[in-house]
Amino acid sequence: MTTITETVTPQKVLELSRSFTFSDKNWLINQLKKLIEQEQLPNSATLDEAIELYLADQCSLGRAAELAGVTRWDIQDTLSQRGIPIEIDSCQSVEEMDALTERLEGKGLLCSL
């Protein structure tokens, strides 16, 4: 992982990206897209508006929860209740995944095999 500790210009990003692997470049592109999209997001939203933004892939689940003024778990529960599949982010920690599994099992929304 590369840590940048100086002011980054577009030229520096291009120079740095030459040493990136294909997956690193994809990660960088996705992060830049998210930054651009987040600049266009409102400061707050209703729960339904926040869910629409999340489903349109305009923000992360965590950001949608922030916009709606609820916890990430609350918004995940709402998605489950509405029958909307939850896209699990590969960056979630094992502890977060275990906690989500327990919550969904406790609500009868997930069965252990």
Say yes or no to pLDDT of 113 above 60. no
Q: How far is CA 81 from CA 22, 102, 104, 111, in A?
A: 38, 16, 10, 15
Mean per-residue pLDDT, 70-96: 81
pLDDT band at 26 (very low <50, low <70, confident <90, very high): confident
Say yes or no to pLDDT of 1 above 70. no
The pTM (predicted TM-score) of the whole model is 0.48
- In degrees to the nearest 10, what's the CA dihedral of 45, 47, 49, 50? 80
pLDDT band at 27 (very low <50, low <70, confident <90, very high): confident
Say yes or no to pLDDT of 75 above 80. yes
What's residue 69's pLDDT? 95
Percentage of the residues of the chain whose pLDDT score is greater than 70: 73
